[in-house]
Chains A and B, each alone.
Chain A
Amino acid sequence: AQTVTQSQPEMSVQEAETVTLSCTYDTSESNYYLFWYKQPPSRQMILVIRQEAYKQQNATENRFSVNFQKAAKSFSLKISDSQLGDTAMYFCAYSGAGSYQLTFGKGTKLSVIP
């Protein structure tokens, strides 16, 4: 079974600074997808970024980028120029290619400090 581990329960960052959230996963599949979802205090789950395992290039979405290390099974999220609106729970998630199942990590609570 696939597992997703987020080892940082809580983190904080000063506004405008950069922060990196860690995620590791375990799988025996060769093709899969990795995601970061954001859950602000409003409770809504929002897709931040996704990475396809067969693509070596790291995904980027504006201020959000990932560092995907396939051999190490590591998938970290970097948030640049942190903004107050980035305060949220961040969940790393895994899905095998063609799978209906999306497995989540336990989340990292990020606080952006003014």
Chain B
Amino acid sequence: DTAVSQTPKYLVTQMGNDKSIKCEQNLGHDTMYWYKQDSKKFLKIMFSYNNKELIINETVPNRFSPKSPDKAHLNLHINSLELGDSAVYFCASSQVTGSSYTGANVLTFGAGSRLTVL
């Protein structure tokens, strides 16, 4: 039973299209994230939600819009796709508050979604 699942795993699309990547976690975590891994493998945080509230919103184009319908889901919608958006997008989750919080923010990652914009 996958802890953090992302769909789709691969996405090939044309410039200018709009696409979404979905993420679901079954760990009962209260915080979810989107990270972008570029072609040089550098991982950079994009967004983070804690209990459906946006808490990290790094400098990304406003074509990227996260949506968290509930604690277990965090989706990423991208409008007007550009060549430079080609990357692997990772969803992750962690438990930051509550009785299980140890002070260490240990992230569990999904398998990643490779987006290719042609």
Q: Using CB atoms and an 8 Å cutoff, list the residues of chain A in contact with chain B.
A: 31, 33, 35, 39, 42-47, 50, 52, 89, 91, 95, 97-104, 106-107, 109
The main secondary structure of chain B at its interface with chain A is: strand
How far is the CB of B44 from the nearest CB of chain A, in Å? Answer: 8
In the assembled complex, the Cα of A103 lies from the Cα of B48 at a distance in Å of: 13
In the assembled complex, the Cα of A80 lies from the Cα of B106 at a distance in Å of: 24
B43 contacts A91, C-beta separation under 8 Å = yes
How far is the CB of B18 from the nearest CB of chain A, in Å? Answer: 24
A43 contacts B105, C-beta separation under 8 Å = no
A43 contacts B45, C-beta separation under 8 Å = no
**A43-B88, A47-B106 are known contacts. Are A101 and B40 too (CB-CB below 8 A)?**
no
Stretch at the interface among B59-67, B68-76, B77-85, B107-115: B107-115
What are the residues of chain A within 8 A of B109 when measuring CB–CB?
Answer: 44-46
In the assembled complex, the Cα of A104 lies from the Cα of B103 at a distance in Å of: 18
B103 contacts A33, C-beta separation under 8 Å = yes
How far is the CB of B49 from the nearest CB of chain A, in Å? Answer: 10
In the assembled complex, the Cα of A106 lies from the Cα of B108 at a distance in Å of: 19
How far is the CB of B20 from the nearest CB of chain A, in Å? Answer: 20
Q: Using CB atoms and an 8 Å cutoff, list the residues of chain B in contact with chain A.
A: 31, 33, 40-45, 48, 50, 55-56, 88, 90, 92, 96, 103-109, 111-112, 114
In the assembled complex, the Cα of A46 lies from the Cα of B3 at a distance in Å of: 12
A33 contacts B42, C-beta separation under 8 Å = no
A52 contacts B104, C-beta separation under 8 Å = yes
**A89-B41, A101-B56 are known contacts. Are A50 and B112 too (CB-CB below 8 A)?**
no
B45 contacts A50, C-beta separation under 8 Å = no
A102 contacts B112, C-beta separation under 8 Å = no
What are the residues of chain A within 8 A of B50 when measuring CB–CB?
Answer: 100
In the assembled complex, the Cα of A98 lies from the Cα of B94 at a distance in Å of: 12
Minimum CB distance partner of B9 in chain A: A43
Residue of B42, B55, B88, B105 touching A104 (CB-CB under 8 A): B42
For the complex of A and B, list the 7 residue pairs with the smallest distance between their C-beta atoms, beginning with the closest. A45-B109, A33-B104, A104-B43, A95-B105, A43-B112, A97-B103, A107-B41
B41 contacts A102, C-beta separation under 8 Å = no
